[in-house]
Amino acid sequence: MSISAFALQQNFNTKNAMASKMISELLHVRKETIRESLAICDQEEHRLEEVLKINGVQYINDSQAVNVNAAYYALDSVEFPLVWIVGGVDRGNDYETLLPLVREKVKAIICLGDNNHNIIKTFVNVVDFMIETHSMHEAVSIAYKLTEKGDAVLLSPACEGYVMFDNHEDRGRKFKQAVRKL
């Protein structure tokens, strides 16, 4: 089965699909059943969810990325220049593994929340523009002003957000609401 036939095309989904296929074959699941399953998977809400495209800018909700590893795969999967909305409750995260992707893809960082010291310290000399915000509406509004056709705005917090939001679903819903109000 060709990777282009997978319903979910992101790199991490491809790896997950390949692992699932191997396990399914070990369990003697019919190849046709495996093929059908991989071709019809639904996109998971709050995980690289394409919300809207406005003036040629794609807004992507990855609120489920509550750790650095999840944010890594999000940054890796987006092919456009990025404005990255990141932050929340940072419990000493090490963002160093994200440096190559940020250098390559991120044109601006919008920190969301009150505890952004590690994010700022790690990326202050890597991107041309970085700002702290204290609401999702403010973060999305600033992102809108920083983008141009062909860019993407990625909410991929790399940490929890339980001071400002009830959970990652609440954060993702508020992101989508703010985008729809642009």
What is the spatial distance between Cα 65 and Cα 85, in angstroms, rounded to a whole number? 11
Q: What is the pLDDT of residue 3?
A: 40
Instruction: Enumerate domains of the chain plus CATH numbers.
Output: 3-40 (no CATH), 49-180 (3.90.190.20)
DSSP class of residue 98 equals G
Residue 7 — very low, low, confident or very high, per pLDDT cuts 50/70/90? very low
CA distances from 151 to 4, 80, 83, 108, 145 (A): 23, 5, 8, 11, 12
Mean pLDDT of 57-62: 97
Stated pTM of the model: 0.80
Q: What is the mean pLDDT of the chain?
A: 85
Enumerate long-range contacts of 6-9, CB under 8 Å, 24 or more apart. 6/38, 6/39, 6/41, 7/38, 7/39, 7/40, 7/41, 7/42, 7/43, 8/41, 8/43
Pick from 173, 170, 166, 163: nearest CA to 114? 163
Give the residue-averaged pLDDT of 143-156.
Answer: 98
> In the prediction, which pLDDT does 110 show?
98
To the nearest 10 degrees (0 to 180), the angle between helices 68-77 and 11-26 is 110
Tokens of residue 71, six digits: 């944010």
**For 76-108, what is each residue's pLDDT tens digit?**
999 999 999 999 888 889 999 999 999 999 999
